Structure 1
């Protein structure tokens, strides 16, 4: 492998790691205090079972130990869900950047046999959060509406970035670190629906004339409803600097505009993950911003 290929392989691994981290946004280091360090640095060991894509009946298992850095600024914040800018906020409304993605799907997917691999997908765009009871409560209920542009990142012939469509989402999210405070347990729930355009659906579910076979018919995707998800996390604070968390999500695409694609093999997908967080060092300066629980 020459220097260029080694460089591209490293980039691909780094990007894949970042995508996997997105599935653990809720599993953050926790504290019982009412204020938080401005920044903290630690180690994060996570494992997850993730479907190749929504509707696939095949999964990959990822297990990675990673360093993490969290910064809780008033305008710029950085955590395990990436770097985001806070454009406007008060006690009830916050506007920021929403980030998501999907790992690459190589040639080991049976439904896509003899079809091109799917590159890693990265989604980002604006989001608005409405906190029903105010964002500074220990039990937090809010509605988030997001619009994300999706781009694929390929590395076969150098860095290749292609726009792949739009995703809209509406999520109702509840976080609570007060109810089981006496046993140092934090939990959160998330229920949401997605809507995607034909281009993004086509990236995953289209079957062109050149890829039709005796078991895979032609398919051209439409825009519209793309399914719903229900997820939850539990986090146990073991010590001041150590916490253990678990994550579970159900994705359902029954009634989605692409559910009849021959590449859809399962209407329900279950994502399972766990993570151990160890905070190594933190700043002396404190802040009341607790962005880590907004997963």
Structure 2
């Protein structure tokens, strides 16, 4: 599964899938199925435009499947019917850690922000590539439905649209490495904006008046990740994100505390199982 944008969980979870999934030119066939343990942790904002960061982390199992038609790896869950050198259609995922309102000054006394998950299609258009380096420039257009859960129930929270210009460079600093830089705006529907920025009347205070959030522009983010294989089965990834919320639709909310957020994270992946069945390497080093 591809686990990317959205604060917190996306940064850490992407790292867990980052290691074994890269196919290089002229390498032996790869296992059809791989399984392992991944995880990560970081210093992450409580929500977009929050005034506080907190340490967060997770460890979880992962699965990589390289089928003839369907594939699941660090690039996403995707059908090869919709993939070429210039265009691809993936099923992409993202997420965010929960946040305890008692630990956040702006939200004190309000309901906690639960675990969040996002799922939806993502169209990839390759604008430029250099296979000698190798590197490429993509325009990625994900549209995702957002859900939250306290592990006892699930709630629909709206839609995000986050077009991103992404540059990828392989083998920079060593064989099997991958550097990725992405830049783009984020837009969200009213329901998700309410989840972050609404203050219902029963939670209003003299310095936190009631507020009804509106859908629209959420902010712009610059994010990076760098994957470094340490052994055949173990890889490390460093990542980060710089977000700017100047001109955001809800910058007048009392929960909107600052125009800049910074996230930093470090992750790992450890492959524990590889199937005996293999598939041939692909022609493209990015697949």
* Among 107, 113, 134, the residue aligned to 1:112: 107
Q: Secondary structure at the match of 1:60?
A: strand
Quote the residue 1:283 is aligned against. Answer: 275
Q: Secondary structure at the match of 1:91?
A: coil
Contact 2:115 2:148 in 1 (8 A): yes
* Among 137, 158, 161, the residue aligned to 1:165: 158
Contact 2:161 2:188 in 1 (8 A): yes
Taking the TM superposition and a 5 Å limit, the aligned residue runs for 1:68-83 are 68-79=62-73, 83=77
Quote the residue 2:119 is aligned against. Answer: 124
Q: Does 1:25 align with 2:14?
A: yes
Q: Does 1:51 align with 2:41?
A: no
Structure 1 residues 160 and 276: CA distance shift in structure 2, 3 A: closer
Taking the TM superposition and a 5 Å limit, the aligned residue runs for 1:93-104 are 93-104=87-98
Quote the residue 1:201 is aligned against. Answer: 193
Deviation (angstroms), 1:204: 0.8
Contact 2:181 2:222 in 1 (8 A): yes
Deviation (angstroms), 1:73: 2.6
Deviation readout 1:193-232 (Å, 9 max, x if unpaired): 1111112101110112222111101222222111111111
Q: Take 2:131 and 2:139, find their aligned partners in 1: how far apart are those partners?
A: 15
Contact 1:91 1:134 in 2 (8 A): no
Q: Take 1:187 and 1:133, find their aligned partners in 2: how far apart are those partners?
A: 16
Contact 2:15 2:268 in 1 (8 A): no
* Among 78, 90, 104, the residue aligned to 2:84: 90
Aligned residues: 272
Contact 2:93 2:119 in 1 (8 A): yes
Structure 1 residues 164 and 274: CA distance shift in structure 2, 3 A: same
Contact 1:250 1:271 in 2 (8 A): yes
Q: Secondary structure at the match of 1:25?
A: helix
Deviation readout 1:147-184 (Å, 9 max, x if unpaired): 111122234xxx322221111110111111134346x6
Contact 2:242 2:260 in 1 (8 A): yes
Quote the residue 2:260 is aligned against. Answer: 268
Q: Does 1:178 align with 2:171?
A: yes
Deviation (angstroms), 1:83: 4.7
Q: Secondary structure at the match of 2:252?
A: coil
Deviation (angstroms), 1:105: 2.2
Structure 1 residues 276 and 293: CA distance shift in structure 2, 3 A: farther
Contact 2:172 2:179 in 1 (8 A): no
Deviation (angstroms), 1:234: 1.8
Structure 1 gaps of 5+ residues are 1-18
Q: Take 1:95 and 1:293, find their aligned partners in 2: how far apart are those partners?
A: 15
Quote the residue 1:13 is aligned against. Answer: none
Deviation (angstroms), 1:291: 11
Q: Take 2:77 and 2:212, find their aligned partners in 1: how far apart are those partners?
A: 35
Q: Take 1:167 and 1:279, find their aligned partners in 2: how far apart are those partners?
A: 32
Q: Does 1:133 align with 2:128?
A: yes
Deviation (angstroms), 1:82: 6.9
Contact 1:185 1:237 in 2 (8 A): yes
Q: Does 1:38 align with 2:38?
A: no
Q: Does 1:62 align with 2:56?
A: yes
Structure 1 residues 293 and 249: CA distance shift in structure 2, 3 A: farther
